[in-house]
């Protein structure tokens, strides 16, 4: 059933654009719109009825029709784009299942989101509720709770959904989660279509400093792309100045962390300069003159490919402090200080978004692994 849903998403929602598609389109046009049956085939394309569906089946099943459509298309062409399209379709289906899980009041408190494979955990009794059609206004008391910034709302299956709620006596039979306002404030600048992703981020069960990962490496987390493990740090991190502001570290620890980050950035600059070949003296000289200035060094690294044809990867090492583990929602439910919860929620969303980008990029890369060492 899940495979059928993913296939539907690929057909209806998820697009991918590769040069091979234009070649295939040209081949189809040449095959169908030339010769005696051209008028009949043109009518078939306009109508897109049963005859066109049968033709699509012939294309997918292989044989001469497929060979003609793929004429001149490299066998490996579009693998990366195709793999990421499948990944996005899987992600859409998983997000739908995740949203159903959020709304259902009688559900397990934990589940694993695939892709990318991270665990999420709901505090006990938290759930959402569809309260009205999207064409209708949100009724009271939910409208009041939204105005007061006590709950989140997002569209789903043509309905307004309000989340999180807990059972409580009263007309609605539920109430907003106590002390949830800081999380709502963190979501105030996020688009409505991204609220579900934000909720997912605050429910992720982040690793703690000493949590063993499944790969045996404390900094690793299995991305579950093709069964391979990606090196992804699944600890929730905060900027070092925030950690000091919230009292997790003292001033000396803050200074030491910043010094370590600065030293790592300088080492990266040195390694980049040393890696520039002698045939590119202008690049080396420009980087040497910018040594120690992260902003200028970064500008030169970005321009190197355009001006000199040299690709340079440079990132500034920043000082981070790692949250001891668990979800942001758990921190809110435990009554942690409001400004900390708001900060954690914002950084959880940023970090989860970056991880998703990284894992989707791995889907692109892994699509080509089948051709390594002569494998097909």
- % of the chain at pLDDT higher than 90: 44
Which of 312, 249, 250 has the alpha carbon at shortest distance from 276? 312
For residue 145, the tally of other CB atoms under 10 A from its CB is 22
Distance CA 231, CA 355 (A): 11
193 with 151: CB under 8 angstroms? no
Residue closest to 32 by CA, chosen among 63, 62, 55:
55
How wide is the angle at C-alpha 337 spanned by C-alphas 123 and 261, nearest 5°?
Answer: 100
- Distance CA(230)–CA(116), nearest Å, equals 11
The reply to whether the predicted model has a pTM over 0.75 is no
Q: What is the pLDDT of residue 202?
A: 96
pLDDT, tens digit, for every residue of 111-139? Answer: 998 888 899 999 988 999 999 998 999 99
Rounded distance between C-alpha atoms, residue 257 and residue 216, angstroms: 26
DSSP string, 246-266: TTSS-HHHHHHHHHHHHHHHH
What H or E segment, with its residue span, contains residue 222? strand 221-225
List b or e across 196-223, with b for residues whose CB sees 16 or more CB atoms inside 10 angstroms. Answer: bbbbbbbbbbbbbeeeebeeeebebbbb
Give pLDDT, residue 356.
87
Q: Are 154 and 164 in contact (CB under 8 A)?
A: no
Residue 7 reports pLDDT greater than 70 = no
pLDDT at 263: 96
∠91-24-62 over CA atoms, to 5°?
A: 80
Q: What is the mean pLDDT of residues 85-108?
A: 82
Question: How far apart (Å, rounded) are the C-alpha atoms in residues 253 and 315?
Answer: 23
pLDDT, one tens digit per residue, over 290-308 is 999 999 999 998 888 777 7
């Amino acid at each position: 059933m899940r495979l059928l849903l993913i296939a539907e998403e690929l057909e209806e929602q998820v697009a991918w654009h590769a040069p091979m598609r234009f070649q295939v389109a040209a081949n189809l046009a040449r095959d169908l719109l030339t010769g005696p049956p051209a008028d009949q085939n043109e009518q078939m394309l306009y109508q897109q009825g049963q005859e066109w569906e049968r033709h699509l089946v012939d294309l997918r099943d292989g044989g001469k029709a497929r060979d003609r459509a793929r004429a001149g298309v490299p066998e490996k062409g579009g693998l990366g784009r195709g793999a990421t399209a499948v990944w996005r379709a899987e992600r859409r289906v998983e997000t739908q299942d995740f949203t159903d899980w959020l709304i259902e009041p009688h559900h397990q408190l934990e589940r694993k989101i695939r892709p990318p494979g991270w665990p999420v955990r709901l505090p006990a009794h938290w759930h959402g509720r569809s309260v009205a059609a999207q064409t209708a206004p949100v009724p009271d008391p939910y409208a009041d709770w939204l105005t007061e910034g006590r709950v989140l709302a997002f569209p789903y299956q043509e309905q307004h959904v309000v989340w999180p709620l807990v059972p409580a006596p009263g007309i609605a039979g539920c109430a907003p989660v106590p002390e949830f306002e800081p999380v709502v404030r963190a979501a105030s600048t996020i688009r409505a279509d991204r609220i579900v992703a934000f909720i997912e981020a605050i429910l992720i069960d982040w690793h703690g400093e000493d949590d063993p990962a499944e790969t045996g490496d404390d900094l690793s987390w299995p991305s579950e792309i093709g069964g391979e493990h990606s090196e992804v740090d699944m600890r929730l991190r905060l900027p070092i100045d925030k950690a000091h502001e919230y009292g997790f570290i003292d001033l000396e620890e803050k200074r030491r962390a910043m010094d370590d980050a600065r030293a790592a950035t300088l080492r990266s600059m040195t390694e980049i300069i040393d890696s520039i070949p002698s045939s590119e003296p202008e690049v080396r000289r420009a980087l040497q003159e910018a040594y120690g200035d992260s902003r200028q060094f970064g500008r030169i690294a970005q321009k190197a490919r355009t001006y000199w044809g040299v690709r340079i990867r440079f990132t500034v090492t920043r000082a981070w402090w790692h949250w001891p583990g668990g979800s942001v929602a758990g921190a809110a439910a435990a009554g942690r200080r409001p400004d900390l919860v708001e900060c954690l929620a914002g950084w959880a969303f940023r970090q989860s978004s970056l991880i998703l980008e990284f894992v989707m990029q791995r889907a692109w890369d892994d699509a080509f692994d089948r051709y390594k060492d002569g494998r097909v």
